[in-house]
Amino acid sequence: MTVGRVRGAAAIVRLPLPAWTKDRAHLRQGFRDGSAWFLGLPWRYVRAVLRGLVVVARWWRAWVTVRDFRQAAEQQDKLADKFREIRELTLLRYRMSAGLTVLSASTITVLDVLYGDLVWWAVAAVFSSVLAMTGRRRDGSPGRKAVLPGPRSLAWTVDPLALAEAFRDARLIGKDESLRLVERPIRQGAGWAVTVDLPATRKAADVIRSREALASALAVDELQLVVERVRGNGGHAGRVAMWVADSDPYDKPVERTPLRVTDRWDAWRPVPFGRDARGRQVDLPLVWTSLLVGAIPRQGKTFAARLAVAGLVLDPYTRLYVADFKAGKDWDAAGSVAHRFMSGDDAAHVLELVGWLAELTAEIQARYRRMRTMDDVVCPESKVTPAMSRDKALGMPITAVVIDEVQVPLEDHTIVDVASRRMPVGEHIGEQLTWLAKKGPAAGLVLVLATQRPDSKTIPSGLRAVLGSRFALRVMDWRDSNIVLGEQMNTRGYDASRLLPSHKGVGILRPDGETSGDVLATTVRTFYMPNDDWRAICEQGRAQRVDEGTLTGHANGEPAPTETVHTVVSAPIPAVLAQVVEFVDHHGDGRDFIPTAELAEALGLEAGALGRQMSDHGCASTRDRITTADGVRQVRGYLVPEIRDAVDRLRAASPDDTSPAIL
């Protein structure tokens, strides 16, 4: 209630209007709740009368037996002394009850003779009303458990008492604490929505983190339960919005992408990406950010990446660099619109990617230099604007770099010369991508990286830290989920390893904080885009580029520029060392010492034969202590730093190798 002034004098009181007067959905829900209340009124009345009868009978029994007097005498150990008084008072109250019953019956009989059966109906109505009022369910009544304060719910499935009990069972509130309804349960989509306030000092973040325990207490699968903190002016740290689905929200036919019927798209608009559990469309912004998609094989990783890129394909002013290291046909249609395109997983393709990234680095630096010379009308800040990206004279289009199976180039150990420094080409690519992810977004660059091996060794931590948007489909464990979504995300209630294998295309989306508002992460089922739709979108994108005169590079038949740097130091290493290095990279778990027996078993060699071959290549074994189930024992094995030093020495010993190279 608020008080205001009219014309500086008269004060008026404005009462808040009910929700059903302002919203059609609330009006429909209120009508359904009112109908349910009216239809269930006779049964509730009968139950209240029966409860009232029991309450009155118990009260009369306690009164007639002088229970309070008896209990007081027992506490003072004077029951024997007071027995005569208790007995006399009990008999007196029995006689009073009998007399009152006879008097009431006589009075009703006389009135019945005078006025007929109407008297009995009136007496029954009054008597039942008194019993119903006595037996009604009241919050805080002795022997009854309190329900949520606030408007009493008329919903058939979301029971306030069950909800409060579920919070207690999940240990989210104490036994003596309760909740408060902010908005009563209302039907939304294929489920029920309710907003509650937690007790003081309780936090919504704890409820989100314990969503699995709360779902168990509510007897639903955790995928059916959506818990969000209410932010903004209408929310606070202890306000929780919940939605409980009637059934598995992802057990339904997939929905094809809306972009398949779209002739044109604006890259500055978020791309339709999928739907959440409540059926609401989730859009993915790409400009000003970068995207990392991670999953184990056959979970829809490539489909998700193509969904993000599809909106960029339909914008004729967008330039695309597409590198498919999966070497399949999933991305082949993009070759008709891409400025640069390749598909393959050989060392030559990795080196070609290095050239692309060098080209993009120079382009980004040139854009920043040009923006410094522009006035504030054309370029208000040191950022590309929509108008600038569409001005062909400026040459600053939104540029997307798409790399599928990015772990292939990042794990390549070919040694290259970079500014007079020798280093693995995978490490160099990681540094290039990190620089582009840091500096590129403001200059109109978008990175879209997809990998089926989301681990800390595949994607450098420095690169992951600057990728703003993350999408994790099902992965093997919580560590892989955190690598894609960010550190400690599993402790905040977001763990992609808990997704069901049957839910193809379902993942956890963590959009960029600057473009997603207050949403930390949400579970999304991506739209479905089969190859036919993808090819049609690429054909439409090509036709638009031809009309606008923006078809360039590979799509226009122009050859890629040839790099002028020529040397790569890349000597082949012996097969046994290559196998050992691969084992250490993928199964070493960060250890500095690998036992000989473990290496021999993994490589299928005898320990003696392995030792001789390693010794021939300058890598001697040593003894060290390891911890086993039987305790600490000393074994023979190899130090990982010495293995890598041996590999570097062999490569450095062949500087005359003249493979194609990029600095």
pLDDT band for 643, please (50, 70, 90 cuts).
confident
Q: Do the Cβ atoms of 447 and 476 come closer than 8 Å?
A: no
pLDDT at 592 over 90: no
In this structure, is the dihedral angle defined by the CA atoms of residues 365, 366, 368 and 372, taken in order, positive or negative? positive
**Is 92 in the same domain as 241?**
no
The crossing angle, in degrees rounded to 10, of helices 531-548 and 301-313 is: 20
Supply the pLDDT for residue 516: 47
Supply the pLDDT for residue 62: 84
**Is 26 in the same domain as 170?**
no
**Is 417 in the same domain as 551?**
yes
pLDDT at 144 over 50: no
| Interval 363-385: pLDDT, tens | 999 999 999 888 888 888 888 99
Q: What is the span of the domain harbouring residue 223?
A: 160-245
Burial 54-80 (b: 16+ CB within 10 A, else e): eeeeeeeeeebebeeebeebeeeeeee
**Is 332 in the same domain as 235?**
no
Report yes or no on 321 lying in a domain: yes
pLDDT band for 404, please (50, 70, 90 cuts).
very high
Last residue of a domain, one of 245, 265, 283: 245
Supply the pLDDT for residue 11: 36
Residue that is written with structure tokens 């382009």 in the block: 363
C-alpha distances in Å from residue 657, one per residue of 134, 568, 620, 653: 97, 7, 27, 10
Supply the pLDDT for residue 10: 37
Supply the pLDDT for residue 22: 60
Report yes or no on 331 lying in a domain: yes
| Interval 197-217: pLDDT, tens | 888 888 888 888 888 888 888
Distance in angstroms (rounded) separating the CA atoms of residues 638 and 599? 9
Last residue of a domain, one of 229, 245, 261: 245
Report yes or no on 12 lying in a domain: no
| Interval 30-49: pLDDT, tens | 787 778 878 888 888 888 88
pLDDT at 72 over 80: no
pLDDT at 154 over 60: no
Percent of the chain past pLDDT 70, that is, above it, reads 86
Distance in angstroms (rounded) separating the CA atoms of residues 272 and 285? 9
| Interval 478-488: pLDDT, tens | 888 888 888 88
**In sequence order, what E strands does 521-578 have?**
522-526
pLDDT at 68 over 60: yes
Range of lowest pLDDT (221-230, 260-269, 271-280):
221-230
Supply the pLDDT for residue 222: 82
Last residue of a domain, one of 556, 584, 612: 556
- 169: CATH: 3.30.980
pLDDT band for 652, please (50, 70, 90 cuts).
low
Distance in angstroms (rounded) separating the CA atoms of residues 560 and 352? 10
Percent of the chain past pLDDT 90, that is, above it, reads 19
**Is 128 in the same domain as 50?**
yes
CA 87 to chain centre: 71
Question: What DSSP state is assigned to residue 233?
Answer: T
Taking alpha carbons only, the member of 269, 262, 313 closest to residue 288 is 269
Report the pLDDT averaged over residues 576-596: 78
**Is 79 in the same domain as 215?**
no
Report yes or no on 150 lying in a domain: no
pLDDT at 113 over 90: no
Structure tokens at 440: 């590129």
**Is 174 in the same domain as 87?**
no
Where is pLDDT greater, at 627 or 54? Answer: 54
Supply the pLDDT for residue 7: 38
pLDDT at 517 over 60: no
Q: Do the Cβ atoms of 42 and 35 come closer than 8 Å?
A: no
Q: CB within 8 A of 638, min separation 6: which ones?
A: 580, 593, 594, 596, 599, 614, 619, 621, 622
Distance in angstroms (rounded) separating the CA atoms of residues 123 and 131? 12
Supply the pLDDT for residue 435: 92
pLDDT at 660 over 70: no
Where is pLDDT greater, at 574 or 565? Answer: 574
The H or E element spanning position 241 is: strand 239-245
Mean model confidence pLDDT for the chain: 80
Supply the pLDDT for residue 658: 38
Distance in angstroms (rounded) separating the CA atoms of residues 441 and 293? 18
The H or E element spanning position 469 is: strand 469-472
Amino acid at 285: P
| Interval 422-446: pLDDT, tens | 778 888 899 899 999 999 999 999 9
**Is 582 in the same domain as 497?**
no
Burial label for 124, CB within 10 Å (0-12, 13-18, 19+), is exposed
**Is 288 in the same domain as 350?**
yes
C-alpha distances in Å from residue 399, one per residue of 269, 338, 380, 391, 467: 15, 10, 20, 14, 16
Report yes or no on 257 lying in a domain: no
| 3-state SS class at 23 | coil
pLDDT at 159 over 80: no
Give 170-204 as a 3 state SS string.
CCCCCCCCCCEEEEEEEEECCEEEEEEECCCCCCH
**Is 428 in the same domain as 504?**
yes
Report yes or no on 145 lying in a domain: no
pLDDT at 12 over 70: no
| DSSP secondary structure of 28-77 | HHHHHHHHHHHHHHHHHHHHHHHHHHHHHHHHHHHHHTTHHHHHHHHHTT
**Is 369 in the same domain as 238?**
no
CB atoms within 10 A of CB 615: 11
Where is pLDDT greater, at 565 or 413? Answer: 413
Supply the pLDDT for residue 145: 46
**Is 123 in the same domain as 178?**
no
pLDDT band for 661, please (50, 70, 90 cuts).
very low
pLDDT at 194 over 80: yes
Taking alpha carbons only, the member of 606, 657, 597 closest to residue 626 is 597
Supply the pLDDT for residue 5: 36
φ, ψ at 124 (rounded to 5°)? -65, -40
Report yes or no on 663 lying in a domain: no
- 321: CATH: 3.40.50.300
pLDDT at 140 over 50: no
Where is pLDDT greater, at 9 or 572? Answer: 572
Helical H runs in 391-526?
A: 407-410, 425-439, 461-465, 478-485
| DSSP secondary structure of 329-397 | STTGGGGGT-SEEEE--SHHHHHHHHHHHHHHHHHHHHHHHHHHHS-TTT-SSSS--HHHHH-TTTT--
pLDDT at 543 over 90: yes
pLDDT band for 518, please (50, 70, 90 cuts).
low
522-526 and 225-229: which strand pairing? unpaired
pLDDT at 391 over 80: yes
225-229 and 191-197: which strand pairing? unpaired
In this structure, is the dihedral angle defined by the CA atoms of residues 180, 186, 188 and 190, taken in order, positive or negative? positive
Supply the pLDDT for residue 212: 86
Supply the pLDDT for residue 106: 86
| DSSP secondary structure of 569-623 | ------HHHHHHHHHHHHHSTT-SEEEHHHHHHHHT--HHHHHHHHHHTT---EE
Range of lowest pLDDT (124-138, 179-193, 509-523, 562-576):
562-576
Instruction: Give me the number of domains the chain comprises.
Output: 4
| 3-state SS class at 408 | helix
Report yes or no on 77 lying in a domain: yes
| Interval 297-339: pLDDT, tens | 888 888 999 999 999 999 999 999 999 998 888 899 999 999 9
- 616: CATH: 1.10.10
